[in-house]
Amino acid sequence: MHVSPSSAALAASLIRQAGAAGRETLNQAELGSLLSALGIAFGPTAATPAPATVDLRISLNFTREFGMIISAGIGGIDADLDEGNFRQDRAAVYAAAELTDAAGFFRLFQRTLGWQRLAAIARRDGLPLPDAALLACFEALLALAGASASSDAAFVLRSLELNPVRVDGGLSVAQARCELGAPAPRRLPRPIAKIEKLIHPRSIGIIGVSSANMNFGRIILKNLMGSGYPKDQMCIIRPGETEIDGVRCVESLKALDHKLDLLIVAVAASAVYELVDEIIETDAVESVMLIPGSLGETKASREPAAALAARINAAHAKTGGGPVFLGANCLGVVSHPGNYDSWFIPLERLPKPQKKAERNSVMLSQSGAFMITRISQNPWLDPRYMLALGNQTDLTHGDMLGYFAELPEIETIGIYIEGFKDGDGLDFARAVRKAVRNGKQVVVYKSGKTAPGMGGVMGHTASIAGGPVLFDSVVRQAGAIVAEDFNSFDDLFYIAGALHGKKIGGNRLGAISGAGFEAVGMADSIEADSFAMEMGTLEPGSVKQLEEILLAKKLNALVEVRNPIDINPGADDEAHLQIVEAFLQDPNIDAVVVGLDPTAPSVRALETSKLRPGFDITDPKSTVHLMPPLVARNDKPVIGIVDGGQLYDAMSAKLMDQGVCIFRNCARGTRALVRYVAARLYADSLKIRQ
């Protein structure tokens, strides 16, 4: 079913009519006309429940972050229940109307309890499933949303709530409400191509460097020099000085003899307002980093900060688009290709890791401290670029992700979000979809899941945190991997980078351990809320090969070939890895998780062995030497589990440094793999449907 031109014209006419009358809702007669044009019965007769009725709620709602959202789920009195009472996607599902179609949204809706009840009744009564009626409804509503989004009318659709909706051959609605309003204003597009100047600057200026004290500006200067950025490509804007730490000083922006690619502003917040006007007027800078905090984060600063953002926005209408601004309340940028570090954290407190010669990831974070703690605790992440967005006075999450979605050398993007500027959630979701279709993986964590959490966000980076269920559903539907907490962000960002080049052929897992609890732990961790892996059935040839390995290692009397397989603490490094390879070669196995059993006496897992000198990770027969080439020559994912204390940190680190994906806990490793496989399979489906 499509919304015909006459139906769209009728909807527009009804909205204009209500707006002209000063009404923000359609009356019951107008609602009846609108729903009839959409092929949906409406009226008192629809209120009489049929036997075994399932009440649904189906709606369109305009949201501040994501624009028009389509949602569907359980209706009637059940719709008032808190979604926190249900598992993911069970109460209701949401999608950005622009980024879904009727078939895609219907597949999402099939996860809900509402659909499952409809299907159960149809099976019990021998009736056909109500697919056609629901698909037609979703198609009609999405077309209506599209028509409203493209309208330049003074009044547009803001919400259409249908509850309860009943399915009986067709669809009938007992109650409905339609609200109208003015279209939401949008900021001017930022010239995001200038992010290139921000991350690869050929010239950098700094305002706010003290010649006498180690203030933030001076620390930034030291970090720039310490990271290798050439002094002759830097300048300090400071009147009355000729040089500081060997870097030349100039009197003012007007005194510059060339246009700066990047200007770093590290002055007091009170000085920023006038300085930004000067930056815009002189047109001496392509990109600006605003370090100062408290802009828009306190009650007294919100009005002047909003006026500042409006002036920056207006400058984007100028020829060339004006400068782009990162921040304020911005920790800064680390750009390995740009050869600079502008964080105001002294290098002695956060030495930058040097784990990989070629970095393929980006970390974008509204909170600089989030990045600091992640990198400090997880040095193997070591992104190519790390950018703190602060309170998004100008450049937003959508801008940044839209830019990095197009960079071919980037494979994985990790993002920490506290809130979106108006309309930027939709820009962000569009960028997620673009990145995924370009073969990248996007891992997102959004804070502010509770009322106190939302309050904390407002006090820190002046952002408004939207509803967590809405965010989670919309961003997952766009193609992102959404983390529920800090640990899962670390796990998912890491596994996405480690396994990006591996083939994801399906959901069949092979599980290998040297301990019974670990085999059970892997098996118990294969289900997520809306996706599950299964233990693959080994082929007869694989079973025979495994039996031969066990016989050669004198483990045949102790171990039964199965999946998951518990291979006994008597198995050495070679036994573990031969069994891994046999699993990988089986066509019924898509990925392998292997417990590397570091505490077992037969495994070379210690950095140095006092009891058996040389029987350690330096031995050519150790897992550290044997596993990396095994991982490299197989295109299926392998997760190694090193479940042990600090004694086994060296084993883990050396494997990770060689590209082996290692977790220190079987449940965390398996859960991360399940989430990752689900996201990759969904990404593949998006590429097919583009």
- Per-residue pLDDT tens for 136-181? 999 999 988 988 887 777 788 999 999 999 887 778 898 999 999 9
Residue where one domain finishes, among candidates 472, 498, 524: 498
Dist CA 1 CA 133 (whole Å):
9
The whole-number pLDDT of residue 650 equals: 96
Among 214, 202, 124, 132, CA closest to 168: 132
Sheet holding 412-417, edge to edge: 340-341, 333-335, 385-388, 361-365, 412-417, 441-446, 481-483
Domain final position from 150, 181, 212:
181
Which letter, b or e, does each residue of 375-399 get, where b requires 16 or more Cβ atoms within 10 Å of its Cβ?
A: beebebbbbbbbbbbbbbbbbbbbb
In a domain, 237, yes or no: yes
- Residue at a domain's end among 142, 160, 181: 181
387 and 352 within one domain: yes
Q: What is the CATH number of the domain that holds 115?
A: 3.30.470.20
pLDDT at position 40: 85
pLDDT computed for residue 1 by the predictor? 42
Q: Is the pLDDT of residue 50 over 70?
A: no
Residue 384 lies in a domain: yes
8-state DSSP, 630: H
Using DSSP, how many helices (H) and how many strands (E) does the chain show? Answer: 21, 27
Q: Do 269 and 328 contact (CB within 8 A), yes or no?
A: yes
Identify the H or E element spanning 403: helix 397-404
Phi, psi for 254 (deg, rounded to 5): -65, -20
Residue 471 shares a structural domain with residue 546: no
Place of tokens 């939207």: 466
Residues in CB range of 384: below 8 A, 6 or more apart: 335, 336, 337, 359, 360, 361, 362, 409, 410
Residue 486 lies in a domain: yes
What separation in angstroms does the CA of 621 have from each of 556, 604, 643, 648? 22, 8, 20, 17
Confidence band, pLDDT 50/70/90 cuts, at residue 85: confident
Q: Is the pLDDT of residue 654 over 80?
A: yes
Do 129 and 208 fall into the same domain? no
Q: Which range (251-255, 416-420, 511-515) has the least confidence?
A: 511-515
Mean pLDDT (whole number) for 452-461 = 45
Q: Is 639 helix (H, G, I), strand (E, B) or coil?
A: strand
Type of residue found at 663: F
Is pLDDT of 527 > 50?
yes
Instruction: Give a yes or no: residue 643 inside a domain.
Output: yes
Residue 453 resides in a domain: yes
- Per-residue pLDDT, averaged over 390-417, amounts to 97
Domain membership of residue 612 (yes or no) is yes
Residue type at 375 in one-letter notation: I
CATH number (domain holding residue 532): 3.40.50.261
Q: Is 503 among the domain residues?
A: no
Categorize the per-residue pLDDT at 461 as very low, low, confident or very high, splitting at 50, 70 and 90: very low
- What pLDDT score was predicted for residue 301? 85
Average pLDDT, the chain: 90
Could you tell me the two tokens for 481?
């991997």
Q: How confident is the model over 437-464, as a mean pLDDT?
A: 67
Q: What is the DSSP string of 534-577?
A: EEPPPPHHHHHHHHHHHHHTT-TTT----SSEE--TT--HHHHH
Contact 678, 528 (CB under 8 A): yes
Q: Which of 211-215, 388-392, 474-478 has the lowest mean pLDDT?
A: 211-215
Q: What is the pLDDT of residue 9?
A: 74
The domain of 567 spans: 508-689
Positive or negative, the CA dihedral 322, 327, 332, 334 is negative
Q: Are residues 442 and 484 in the same domain?
A: yes
* Cα separation, 355 vs 346, whole angstroms: 20
Tell me: pLDDT of 450 over 60.
no
pLDDT of the residue at 460: 44
Return the pLDDT at 690.
Answer: 66
Separation between Cα atoms, residue 418 and residue 350, nearest integer Å: 24
Per-residue pLDDT at 25: 92
Same domain? 537 vs 441:
no
Give residue 359's pLDDT.
77
Q: Distance between CA 479 and CA 558 in Å, rounded?
A: 45
The reply to whether 342 and 385 lie within a common domain is yes
Q: Is 247 inside a domain boundary?
A: yes
CB 46 within 8 A of CB 20: no
pLDDT of residue 459: 43
Mean pLDDT throughout 525-545? 95
* % residues pLDDT > 70 (the chain): 93
601 and 461 in a common domain:
no
Q: Are residues 429 and 485 in the same domain?
A: yes
Q: Find the radius of gyration of the CA atoms of the chain.
A: 29
For the cut 70, the answer to whether the pLDDT of residue 612 exceeds it is yes
Same domain, 374 and 519: no
Domain check: are 440 and 514 in the same one?
no
Are the C-beta atoms of 267 and 208 separated by less than 8 Å? yes
One domain, residues 484 and 600: no
Are 269 and 405 members of one domain?
yes
How many domains does the chain contain in total? Answer: 3
